[in-house]
Amino acid sequence: MGNSGELKQNFLKGIIKENPVFVMLLGMCPTLGVTSSAFNGLGMGLATLFVLLMSNIVVSIIKSQIPNKVRIPAFIVIIASFVTIVEMVLEAYIPFLYEQLGIFIPLIVVNCLILGRAEAFASKNNLMASVVDALGMGIGFVIALTALGATREILGSGSIFEFRFVSEDANTLILFILPPGAFVALAYLAIAFNRLTHKVL
């Protein structure tokens, strides 16, 4: 570990080859639940990125101190603490986003992407590599959620980041902002994503 080529590889794998949403299909609950608009997707992605980064850092630092048999509870406590911090900070400084995301903020705790990276990566690798891994995976998650949110918002509400480009009365494909539309949009985005990356790589 340590040379820059490997770090770069490590960073890019989270975005493309092992994209948490489009390739590994991790963290589906927030992915499907909050992405009814591009802004919600972006906000949820960033909140998750922060928690993932912080938990990877802490787990990587104290990994040798955690006895193997209690590692999962230890990880969960660390993750839950950062999620609660995010929740309090959002409520204090970005109340608008806090209201929009609602119950999905506490649910970041059980996002298997975060626990997955703590268990599979941060608990086995050094700090630098864990930071890079969290950034790669986190950014991959942000991109996926924002893309999904944007797709659903464009098709379902006729707007993008709340900027409306059709009139308020226009008939949009309401299906896409309802839960079933999330599955449909995710499926087609995943197909497109995998097709594209397959060709490029």
Partner 1 sequence: MVKKKESTLINMVIVLFLITLAAGLSLGYVNDITLEPKAKARLAKKMRALNVVLPQFNNNPISEGHLMKMADVKDSVEIYPAAKDGVFVGAAVTGVSERGYSGLVKLMVGFEPDGNIINIAVLEQKETPGLGTKMKGEKFLRQFRGKHPADFDLKVRKDGGEVDALAGATISTRAFSEATQQAYDAYLAFRERNLKSDK
**Secondary structure letter of residue 163 according to DSSP:** E
**Six-digit token string for 8:** 């770069």
Q: How far is the CB of 174 from partner 1 (least distance, A)?
A: 5
Residue 187's closest CA among 31, 14, 22, 35? 22
Strands 163-164 and 159-160 come out as: antiparallel
- Residue with Cβ nearer partner 1 (26 or 32): 32
Give me the least distance between CB of 156 and partner 1, in Å please.
Answer: 6
Q: Which is nearer to partner 1, 178 or 196 (CB)?
A: 178
Q: How far is the CB of 200 from partner 1 (least distance, A)?
A: 33
Q: Which residues 6+ apart lie within 8 Å of 83 measured at CB?
A: 51, 105, 106, 108, 109
Our CB check for partner 1 shows the closer of 124 and 195 to be 124
- State the residues that interact with partner 1 by CB under 8 A: 36-37, 40, 62-70, 73-74, 77-78, 80-81, 84-85, 88-89, 91-93, 95, 99, 102, 123-124, 153, 156-157, 159, 168-169, 172, 174, 177-178
Q: Which residues contact 147 (CB under 8 A, 6 or more apart)?
A: 41, 189
Q: How far is the CB of 115 from partner 1 (least distance, A)?
A: 15
Instruction: Give whichever of 65 and 201 is closer to partner 1, judged by the CB atom.
Output: 65
Residue 65 C-beta: closest distance to partner 1, Å: 6
The Cα 145–Cα 44 span in angstroms is 8
Q: Who contacts 122 (Cβ-Cβ below 8 Å, separation ≥6)?
A: 55, 56, 57, 59, 60, 63, 130, 133, 134
Query: Which of residues 52 and 177 has its CB atom nearest to partner 1 in the complex?
Result: 177
